[in-house]
Structure 1
Amino acid sequence: MGVFTYEMEVVTKIPPTKIFKAFVLDGDSLIPKIAPQAIKNVELIEGDGGPGSIKKITFGEGYQFDYVKHKVEALDKENLTYSYSVIEGDALMKSLEKITYEIKIASSPDGGSICKSISQYYTVSNFEIKEEQIKAGKEKSSGLFKALEAYLLANPDA
């Protein structure tokens, strides 16, 4: 088994607590409204949404994958950090044991936020992840984050 680690950073004009609330705390209901082509729905299977909870994410029509299940590993509302693991679903492609994500949102000098994400892909045997797969995943994540930013800028009371 190998572990491949990738980092990503997205800058937004939205203040840290607001983007954390929208992306992490309200994301399960908000993101399917904003980007139904990407995420059709999020269903809480087990738990209350906090650590140990299991969520099933169903992707939109024509998306590359059908669904994944996430396990919430940690949620720290004070420090604006969130971590979860993809533990099941066709996104694992029978070649990955799991994928873990650690998200930290911090203030940027202009009053907005910097969202830092660390992804770790745990491969089965000697499977190797191609750079274009990672790039495509980063672009989708960044696009979803930017769609959320556009929604919040257009709806400041949301």
Structure 2
Amino acid sequence: MGAFTIESQGTSAIPPNRLFKAFVLDADNLIPMVAPHAIKSTEIIEGNGGPGTIKKITFGEDSQFKHAKHRTDMIDLEHCTYCFSVIEGDALSEKLENISTETKMLASPDGGCIIKTTTSKYQTMGEFQLMEEKIQGGKEKASGLFKVVEAYLLAHPDLYN
């Protein structure tokens, strides 16, 4: 089994607390509403939304995948940090054991935020090598989803304050 880490960073015009409330805390409701092409629905299978919660995510028509199960590993409201792992689903295929991601939203000097995906650990099975193009494609889709949520929040400044 191998493991490797990818780091990325982006920015948003939305302050961290507001983006965190929308993109993390209310993602199950908001994302299927604003981006049904990406995520059709989210269902809590186990837990109450905090650490240990397992969710089944059904992807929309734009996805090459049908579903995934996510486990919430950590939520830090004060520091706008969220950690989760993809533990099951066709996104893992038979070659990946899991994918763990930590996202932090930090205040930026312009009033918006810096979004840091500090670790994305891909646990592979056997000698399998995950191709850089596949990872980049996933990062681009996640970035696009952030932009859809950001546009929605910019158009609705009274929400998630």
Is the structural similarity TM-score above 0.5? yes
Secondary structure of the residue aligned to 1:45 is strand
- Structure 1: where are the runs of 5+ without partners? none
**Could you tell me which residue of structure 2 aligns to residue 48 of structure 1?**
48
C-alpha distance in structure 1 between counterparts of 2:4 and 2:96, whole Å: 11
Aligned to 2:134: 133
Amino acid at match of 2:126: S
State the 4+ residue runs in structure 1 displaced beyond 3 angstroms: none
Q: In structure 2, how many angstroms separate the alpha carbons of the residues matched to 1:156 and 1:99?
A: 33
Partner of 1:3: 3
Give the C-alpha shift of residue 62 in structure 1: 4.4
1:96: which partner in 2?
Answer: 96
Structure 1 CA distance, aligned partners of 2:138 and 2:102? 15
Q: Distance in 1 between matches of 2:96 and 2:112?
A: 35
Quote the residue 1:151 is aligned against.
152
Match of 1:75 in 2: 75
CA distance in 1, matches of 2:148, 2:62: 18
The offset of 1:8, in angstroms, is 1.4
* Structure-1 residue corresponding to 2:37: 37
Please provide the CA RMSD for this pair.
Answer: 0.7
Match of 2:121 in 1: 120
- 1:129 corresponds to which letter in structure 2? L
Corresponding residue of 1:28? 28
Of all paired residues, the percent bearing the same amino acid is: 58
Q: CA deviation at 1:60?
A: 0.5
Separation in 2, partners of 1:43, 1:23: 16
TM-score norm. by structure 2 comes to: 0.96
SS at match of 2:65: coil
1:113-147 CA-to-partner distances (Å, cap 9, x unmatched) read 01111211000001111011011011000000011
**Unaligned 5+ runs, structure 2:** none
Secondary structure (helix, strand or coil) at the match of 2:130 reads coil
One-letter amino acid matched to 1:92: L
Q: Distance in 1 between matches of 2:68 and 2:61?
A: 15
The CA deviation at 1:25 is 0.3
Give the deviation of 1:75 after TM superposition: 0.6
Quote the Cα distance in structure 2 between the aligned partners of 1:104 and 1:4.
19
Distance in 1 separating the partners of 2:158 and 2:146: 18
